Chains A and B, each alone.
Chain A
Amino acid sequence: MEKNSRISLKKSTLFGICFAVFLIAFAAVPAQAQQTTVNLNTPELVKGSTVYTTVEIDNVTDLDAGQFDLSFNSSVLKFLNVEDGSIEGTKIPLQWRLIDAGTVRVIFNLEGVTGISGSGQIARIDFEVIGDGKGDLLISNGLLGNTEANQINADWGVTAASDVQKSTPGFGGVFALVSLIAVFCMVKFGRS
């Protein structure tokens, strides 16, 4: 009798733990959804045409400044220009420089230190497609700063148009993992 009661108590405790793990997992999913992401979008490259590559940003909070290097295959793409972006209607004023034949460095700093939150486009970089092969567009040294001069933790996501887009484990993945753990726990401790 006493033994059964102890087993029941153990089971209840384990169920409680599993439930708590569930809750934590659910809580973590919306937090991941707020992750700041920066993506590079490039349309199909057609020789002889002009291609407009955009650097998009999502879910940023209190953005004040940023910088990144965009490298490219200079035998395929001829750099033309960098155009200012806009986030939630606020212009992103850019400065840039070709630091070598295949890399353009872009920096921006919003006026004052009030910052901007939301999503939008940081920059548009224009190229002329002059050759065959891969464009090899790649963002590196990406850095975003907030209004307190601290780094904004951002996922710089896709680095090239032909690359497979990086993604964070979604709700389905987390749910499946947690369910698996819960079932494992119940089966194991249920037997004991």
Chain B
Amino acid sequence: MISKSIIIAIIASLLLLTPSASASDYTLGIFGNANEDDNIDLKDVEYTGLIILGLDVQTQLADAKYDDKVDILDVTQTELIILGKEKELTFLDGFKEVMTVTKPVERVVSVWCTNNELLKVLDATEKIVGVDGGMTQKSTTLFPELCDLPDCGGWHAPNFEAILSQHPDMYIPWLITTADSASTYGILRKRFLEEKLTNVPVLCLDNSEYCTGEYFLEEVKRLGFIFDKRKESAEFIEFYKGCMDPVTELTEGLSEDEKPKVWITSLFFSGGEVTSSPYAYTVFDPVDLAGGKNIAAELGSISPGTKVDIEWVIEQNPEFILLQIWAAGNKKSPYAPDYPVSNIEEQVNGVLNCPQLSNVDAVKNKRVYVIQYSHFTKGPARSICVAYLAKLFHPEMFADLDPLAMHQEYMNRFLRINASVNSVNFLYPSLNE
């Protein structure tokens, strides 16, 4: 009888370890996810029991109560998390640092427009009590519900007094997990904010284009648990995959020769003009996913990018040039009906008319595009951005792909904007031209 029970338990543990067909490539970084897959469910309850009985390997995330031991209290805590009844939730933030929040999280100061877009997608903007006076307050089309909230300073210049006066449960700044620790967006910035905002948890989100899709999906799912918006996060993840998967299923099989060479730059760093040492993004996930070849990818692991010699660009002879543009520079979101299109026209024409680049294929074939940074290459719309780029890079392969329809659904369903996708400005010239 003893041996039979042990054999059953061992088989059960092996089954738990076997990845299911729908398994993702990420681990949901919430303590209670004992088997370290992409979800918290009854399998984690069982797995924790097996750990206590010494029948399975102890994992970091099995310690649901985060008290440095795995015991039966972790089983109950995991069940409470599954039921959404937990009083505290411990998780790994964007920097993979352990963070515990008291639930429910009801008052959030969030000062970066793309993070706020993500909260909007999760239908969690009712929890935001303070925003940045820059993009979020000015994005009346995108964030009508946030425009009148108190200005708590921008991402670069927080107004600590204003933040603390809101008595927030959490502060969400703009941080980049891949940035150098000492940079404006790195881990030391988080330390600075924590020092200034004693007793207010500082949550690092990073939905930038430098991060992988797996990281982003994990972040969305994690936010669903933090803000009690699991149904909404699951719906959005399904939509996101519905946009992304049809693209990556085909682009993953492309050889290097089949991928067009792409120079991703921004004229922001050079006063709006192409200079002798323009900028090049070395890491840019949407281009990779869409089946393009980033010409600067081999320049090293500098993230997000570096200045290059214009002669080097000419030598690389990119087939596409993408000019990333900051919506914040215009103080208008690309969803605004009065978005100044003339600004982006000028940028495209500036490159097309640049004498130094006249022999580059992208210029000769007029494949120079302005691409929006905020709300497109980063943030929840990134899967739509990938679809746009795939259609641009491989029009025959993706003849049936309809990125505009995806974008329209995203606007209507997740952003609750009733405008037509043809009236917004995320890629210029548009796919229709």
Contacts and interface: CB of A to CB of B under 8 A. Distances in A.
Interface of A: 64-67, 79-81, 95-99, 105, 107-109, 112-113, 143, 145-151
Contact of A66 (B55, B72, B80): B72
A97 B72 CA distance: 15
Contact of A145 (B2, B5, B54, B73): B73
B53 interface: yes
A109 B79 CA distance: 10
A147 B54 CA distance: 24
Interface in B66-112: 71-77, 79-80, 83, 85-87
Nearest to A148: B87
B72 A65 contact: yes
Contact of B76 (A80, A81, A99, A149): A149
B55 A97 contact: yes
A143 B79 CA distance: 17
Contact of A95 (B2, B53, B76, B85): B53
Contacts of B65: 149
Interface residues of B, number: 26
Contact of A99 (B54, B64, B83): B54
A149 B65 CA distance: 8
A67 B71 contact: yes
Contacts of A96: 5, 53
A148 B86 CA distance: 8
Given A96-B53, A143-B71, 20 more contacts: A65-B73, A65-B75, A67-B52, A67-B72, A79-B2, A80-B1, A81-B1, A99-B53, A105-B52, A105-B54, A107-B49, A108-B72, A109-B45, A109-B79, A112-B79, A112-B83, A149-B64, A149-B74, A149-B76, A149-B86
A113 B42 CA distance: 13
B308 interface: no
A107 B76 CA distance: 12
A168 B57 CA distance: 40
B9 interface: yes
Nearest to A68: B72
22 contacts: A65-B75, A66-B72, A67-B71, A80-B1, A81-B1, A96-B53, A97-B53, A97-B54, A99-B53, A105-B53, A107-B52, A107-B53, A109-B45, A113-B76, A113-B79, A113-B83, A145-B73, A145-B76, A148-B80, A149-B65, A149-B77, A150-B73
A122 to B, nearest CB: 12
Interface of B: 1-2, 5-6, 9, 45, 49, 52-55, 64-65, 71-77, 79-80, 83, 85-87
Contacts of A112: 79, 83
A147 B1 contact: no
B8 to A, nearest CB: 10
B73 A143 contact: yes
Of the candidates A67, A81, A112, the one having the most CB atoms from chain B within 10 angstroms of its own CB is A67
A64 B85 CA distance: 14
A129 B71 CA distance: 31
A42 B83 CA distance: 39
Contact of A149 (B53, B54, B73): B73
Contacts of A148: 76, 80, 87
A66 B49 CA distance: 11
B55 A145 contact: no
Contacts of A80: 1
B188 to A, nearest CB: 35
Most central of B5, B64, B74, B83 by chain A CB within 10 Å: B5
Interface centre among B5, B54, B76, B87 (most CB of A within 10 A): B76
Contacts of B52: 67, 105, 107
A187 to B, nearest CB: 51
Contacts of B53: 95-97, 99, 105, 107
Contact of A98 (B2, B45, B74, B75): B2
A109 B72 contact: yes
A153 to B, nearest CB: 13
A150 B80 CA distance: 12
Contacts of B9: 95, 97
A99 to B, nearest CB: 6
A107 B52 CA distance: 8
A145 B74 CA distance: 9
- Residue from A96, A107, A147, A150 having most chain B Cβ neighbours under 10 A: A107
Contacts of B1: 80-81
A62 to B, nearest CB: 10
A71 B389 CA distance: 65
B79 A151 contact: no
A109 B85 contact: no
A109 B6 contact: no
Contacts of B77: 149
Contacts of B54: 97, 99, 105
